[in-house]
Amino acid sequence: MMRKLAAGNWKMNGTRESLDALQAIASAHPEPGVDILICPPATLLLQAAALSADSPLSIGAQDCHSAASGAHTGDISAPMIADAGAQAVIVGHSERRLDHHETDADVRAKAEAAHAAGLLAIICLGETLAERDAGSTLDVIGAQLEGSTPDSGDSANTVIAYEPVWAIGTGKVPDIAQIAEVHDFIRDRLTARFGSTASDIRLLYGGSVKPANAAEIFAVRNVDGALVGGASLNAADFSPIIAAL
Ligand code: PEP
């Protein structure tokens, strides 16, 4: 049976003292009924993975290069992330797509690299406000999904995160019908491409998830968890979100 997933994306936040939050989250959920993943910055991966080794938490990175090694100053590869003790990597976050001009093809190559290294790839999709206002949300999501998801995708190695760009870090959240429409659409498209295994591919919602709105969002059909930014930085906010799943 599918286990829901609460994933935290710390983005470019956190120094060693921030790792105290891992212990606090682990203590609050000794036997969670859902999977809990924290994606700290790369500088903390090794230590976070070591600290979480005997806990219900798993650790992920926020990005990887598509190559396993080579002349790519400043980048880290999927095998390096696995070697640090992490189990997952976020690819195609809208901040990477915008700040680093990553294309669907780039994201797909990164997801393939993640799969080759034995990592869970969390593939992010999302429309901008201009795209939503233009009525092209499903076209945009369909194209990103098709272009960013590799053929190697299955329920064990792939999670899809729907994160409307205009909802990230803004406090704005789509209404429940809008979330349901996109999640149903993603499920249908995955089923058309991958067949019955697609029913177990977890679909996360991301974008201003907070303790106050988590339960309402998690009640939406085909929402199998959340990718949480700001509210994952401390246990006081992330713990009630985990508990709401
Ligand atoms: C994110 O960065 O993936 C995210 C969803 O951020 P926030 O929860 O802060 O909107």
pLDDT of residue 48: 98
Is residue 216 very low, low, confident or very high in pLDDT (cuts 50, 70, 90)? very high
Residue 206 Cβ inside 6 Å of ligand 1? The answer reads yes
What are the E-state strand segments in the chain? 5-9, 35-39, 57-61, 88-91, 120-125, 158-162, 202-206, 225-228
Mean local confidence (pLDDT), 5-15:
98
Provide the domain limits for residue 164: 5-244
Mean local confidence (pLDDT), 210-220:
98
pLDDT of residue 56: 95
DSSP H or E stretch at residue 237:
helix 235-244
What is the per-residue pLDDT across 71-107, written as a single tens digit (0 to 9) for each? Answer: 999 999 999 999 999 999 999 999 999 999 999 999 9
What is the per-residue pLDDT across 135-152, written as a single tens digit (0 to 9) for each? Answer: 999 999 999 999 999 999
> What CATH number is given to the structural domain containing 182?
3.20.20.70
CA of 95 to the centre of ligand 1 (A): 10
152 CA to centre of own chain? 18
Residue 35 Cβ inside 6 Å of ligand 1? The answer reads no
Number of domains in the chain: 1
Residues placed in the known binding site for substrate: 9-11, 169, 208, 229-230
pLDDT of residue 1: 78
Residues placed in the known binding site: 9-11, 169, 208, 229-230
Q: Which residues are catalytic?
A: 93, 163
CA-to-CA dists, residue 157 to 30, 106, 175, angstroms: 25, 18, 29
pLDDT of residue 125: 98
Mutation probe of ligand 1 site: the residue of 10, 11, 91, 125 with most atoms within 8 A of C-beta? 11
Q: Which atom of ligand 1 is nearest to the CA of 230?
A: 9
Arithmetic mean of pLDDT over the chain = 97
pLDDT of residue 90: 99
Residue 208 Cβ inside 6 Å of ligand 1? The answer reads yes
Residue 91 Cβ inside 6 Å of ligand 1? The answer reads no
Is residue 229 very low, low, confident or very high in pLDDT (cuts 50, 70, 90)? very high
190 CA to centre of own chain? 17
Q: Whose CA is nearest to atom 6 of ligand 1?
A: 229
Radius of gyration of the chain (CA): 17
DSSP H or E stretch at residue 184:
helix 176-194
What is the per-residue pLDDT across 19-33, written as a single tens digit (0 to 9) for each? Answer: 999 999 999 999 999
Q: Whose CA is nearest to atom 4 of ligand 1?
A: 229
What is the per-residue pLDDT across 152-205, written as a single tens digit (0 to 9) for each? Answer: 999 999 999 999 999 999 999 999 999 999 999 999 999 999 999 899 999 999
pLDDT of residue 162: 98
Mean local confidence (pLDDT), 57-72:
98
